[in-house]
Amino acid sequence: MPNRSSSTYPLTTELAFRWLEKQAHLYESFTRQALHEAGLKPGMRVLDVGTGTGAVALLAAQIVGSEGDVIGVDRMPEVLDVARQRAAQLPNVSFREGDPAEMDLGAPFDAVLGRFILIYYPDPVITLRKLASKLRPGGLLMFQEPDCTGVRSLHELPVFRRNDRWIVETIEAAGGDTSIGLRLYEYFVSADLPAPEMRLDARIGGGPDFEGYAVAAGFTAALLDSMGERGQALAREMDLDTLEQRIRDEVVASGSIVVFPSLIAAWTRKPL
């Protein structure tokens, strides 16, 4: 297992929060399908770990319905302001500030969920144990995490691949594990949980209108914006203003497609 003594969340500005909305749109159908397949049902009480702008919390709220209850927790008050605005008309969704692995959140939950979350915890196994303790017996635990080793293309695409390498190196420099999706099975079992069921999804596309180009370049922009003056200097070096168009142009010119990082879901039930 990777040894990660610390991890710093690398997306901390308003620009980064707007990018999170684009990412949520890109992966929404995958998360919705995984939630249904894992067994999220109407009436459940749900904890959304590291809720961010509330995208997964809102999906869960649609599934559990008015008889259910969703609590989203995040460490950053600024991003929770965005989440509360998005959920303003939903009485079954609320948000709290803090680390959900450490907080007392009252009655046990029927489900604990998270997307792109364990990647930023220094010890995912300990975190899974703590979060599982917040479940009722038989409760559902589900996480979706990335595997950046799944990024590929049929032809040589130097701009796309260079951008991907920079993103991976930046996240790993902040302590994130960019292939954590492949380790979810191992982490669940090491946390003394039943072996999880799993699924893998990935966005793939080409041509001039594929929305992935904007998401790829937008992630770079969000990371750079969160790096202050050093990020501004790197943005000029990388010619950030033209990055999206350069990625689009080389994919279209090659007649190729690009495969984005895999999103791997793992879920299990707390023993009775």
| Cα 6 to Cα 150: distance, rounded to the nearest angstrom | 25
Confidence grade of residue 229 (pLDDT, cut at 50, 70, 90): confident
SS3 143: strand
| 108 DSSP assignment | P
* Band (145; pLDDT cuts 50, 70, 90): very high
Residue range 150-165: mean pLDDT, rounded: 92
Domains in the chain (CATH in brackets) are 14-269 (3.40.50.150)
Report which of residues 3 and 256 the model is more confident about: 256
Report the alpha-carbon distance of residue 58 to residue 94 in Å, rounded. 10
End-to-end CA distance of the chain: 28
Rounded CA-CA distance 144/39 in Å is: 15
For residue range 235-269, what is the model confidence (pLDDT) as tens digits?
888 898 999 999 999 999 999 899 999 999 999 99
Contact 236, 137 (CB under 8 A): no
Between 169 and 18, the higher pLDDT residue = 169
Helix (H, G, I), strand (E, B) or coil at 72: strand
Cα atoms found within 13 Å of the Cα of residue 157, Cβ hemisphere only: 27
Residue pair 55/21 in contact (Cβ under 8 Å)? The answer is yes
CA distance 44 to 34: 16
102: CB partners within 8 A, 6+ apart: 130
Q: What would the pLDDT profile of 196-214 be if each residue is shown by its tens digit? A: 999 999 999 999 999 999 9
Q: What is the pTM of this model?
A: 0.90
How remote is the C-alpha of 250 from its chain's centroid? 27
Q: How far is CA 265 from CA 30, 47, 86, 110, 200, in A?
A: 9, 17, 25, 18, 6
Position 64 scores a pLDDT of: 97
**Residue 12, pLDDT score:** 64
Contacts of residue 257, defined as CB under 8 A and 6 or more positions apart, other chains included, come to: 153, 154, 204, 205, 206, 251
- pLDDT for 52 beyond 60: yes
